[in-house]
């Protein structure tokens, strides 16, 4: 076999292995945390320890003050534009009052996941849009679109699941982590691609860049899994049924039944995987909910939701 061809084959196989990563155990088969995780309240999460090497790099690549200031400006601009266009639902609207009431119950239980949340200036707004979406920016700036409430016919428990999920992203600093990882991955891809191209005698910078982009997507999917569980933990402690998370993703699946992108190329894990993960942690989540209701798990009634619009 041609030596150059052998070298190219070996490198391409290594790149493919880097994209694929280690095989994940199915939810419930092996819930042991990875080396980069700690277990908090029974949920494996990445620590927010500011003394870790990764955190030091994050402080350089994505300074906390800069991220918070940027998100505050973006949120202010978004709300201002929505108000000008008549898309900002007024505070007197029952749906806005509903969202804010749910937020008031959830917010006190956020501090256990990030003590800095105690100082956040929380905001909750509703925007008129058919988009099925919601978000929470760093600092507790929350927005829901009317589309996600109307099309999925969300119950209060399901709104709490969505809100908890989005708040969890902010609490666990996922946006900041993603920005620093994207910066680091891009740098490594550029340097590695140039070095490999020189060594192989063929331009593989495009392949190296693709590997880097797929790695960032993998980071995003891991963050989604973490946000699902942390969000339901917050919701359950606030008196909202965590089984709503299962109903929510079943509704999402029905809405997306026309076809969704394969998980490898998506920032979100598949709906069935998310449901399996939530179910595997229900032994932790349901007791929190039952305790908030002053009862026991065996006395909880079955969860009852609404059918999403088709």
Given a contact cutoff of 8 angstroms between Cβ atoms, the answer to whether 194 and 73 are in contact is no
Structure tokens at 310: 């088709």
Residue 46 DSSP label: -
Q: Which of 64, 69, 166, 224 is catalytic?
A: 166
How many Å separate Cα 140 from the centre of its chain? Answer: 15
pTM of the model: 0.73
Active site annotation includes 273: no
The predicted structure's pLDDT at residue 259: 53
Residue 38, H or E segment: strand 38-40
Residue 78: how many other CB atoms lie within 10 Å: 18
Per-residue confidence in pLDDT tens, the chain, 310 aa = 555 545 554 444 444 444 444 434 444 444 455 555 778 888 988 887 554 444 443 444 445 666 678 888 999 999 999 999 999 999 999 999 999 999 999 999 999 999 999 999 999 999 999 999 999 999 999 999 999 999 999 999 999 999 999 999 999 987 665 554 444 444 444 544 455 445 455 454 454 444 444 444 445 778 888 999 999 999 999 999 999 999 999 998 888 775 544 333 455 666 788 999 999 999 999 999 999 999 999 999 999 988 777 6
The two tokens of residue 190 are: 């550029």
State whether residue 124 is helix, strand or coil: strand
Q: What is the pLDDT of residue 17?
A: 47
Phi then psi for residue 62, to 5 deg, are -145, 80
Q: What are the residue boundaries of the structural domains of the chain, listed by start?
A: 34-299
Residue 2: its pLDDT value, please? 53
Q: Let me know: does 146 contact 95? Beta carbons within 8 Å.
A: yes
Residue 292 pLDDT: 97
Q: What Rg do the C-alpha atoms of the chain give, in angstroms?
A: 21
Query: How far is 248 from 182, CA to CA, in rounded Å?
Result: 30
pLDDT score, position 176: 62
DSSP assignments along 244-258, one per residue: HHHHHHHHHHHHTTT
Check residue 124 and give its pLDDT. 98
Question: What residues contact residue 193 under an 8 Å CB cut-off, 6+ apart?
Answer: 204, 205, 206, 207, 208, 209
| Sign of the torsion angle spanned by Cα atoms 152, 158, 163, 168 | negative
Question: Any idea which residue has 């996941």 for tokens?
Answer: 113
Closest by CA position to 235, among listed 133, 159, 126, 146: 159
Which pLDDT belongs to residue 64?
Answer: 64
pLDDT of residue 12: 47
What's the pLDDT score for residue 72? 87
């Amino acid at each position: 076999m041609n030596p150059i061809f052998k070298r190219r084959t070996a490198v391409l196989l290594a790149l493919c292995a880097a994209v694929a990563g280690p095989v994940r155990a199915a939810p419930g088969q092996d819930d042991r945390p990875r080396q980069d995780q700690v277990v908090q309240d029974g949920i494996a999460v990445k620590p927010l320890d500011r003394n870790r090497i990764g955190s030091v790099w994050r402080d350089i690549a994505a300074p906390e003050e800069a991220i918070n200031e940027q998100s505050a400006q973006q949120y202010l601009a978004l709300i201002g534009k929505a108000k000008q266009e008549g898309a900002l639902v007024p505070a007197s609207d029952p749906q806005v009052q509903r969202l804010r009431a749910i937020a008031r119950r959830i917010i006190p239980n956020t501090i256990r996941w990030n003590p800095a949340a105690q100082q956040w200036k929380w905001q909750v707004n509703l925007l008129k849009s058919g988009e099925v979406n919601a978000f929470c920016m760093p600092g507790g700036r929350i927005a829901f679109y009317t589309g996600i409430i109307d099309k999925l016919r969300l119950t209060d428990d399901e709104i709490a699941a969505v809100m908890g999920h989005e708040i969890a992203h902010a609490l666990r600093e996922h946006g900041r982590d993603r920005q620093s990882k994207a910066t680091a991955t891009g740098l490594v891809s550029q340097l590695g691609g140039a070095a490999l191209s020189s060594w192989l005698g063929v331009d593989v910078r495009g392949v190296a860049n693709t590997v880097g982009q797929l790695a960032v997507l993998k980071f995003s999917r891991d963050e989604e899994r973490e946000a699902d569980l942390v969000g339901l933990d917050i919701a359950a402690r606030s008196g909202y049924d965590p089984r709503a998370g299962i109903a929510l993703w079943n509704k999402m699946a029905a809405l997306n039944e026309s076809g969704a992108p394969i998980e490898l190329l998506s920032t979100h894990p598949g709906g069935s995987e998310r449901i399996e993960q939530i179910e595997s942690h229900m032994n932790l989540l349901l007791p929190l909910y039952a305790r908030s209701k002053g009862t026991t798990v065996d006395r909880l009634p079955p969860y009852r939701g609404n059918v999403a619009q088709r």
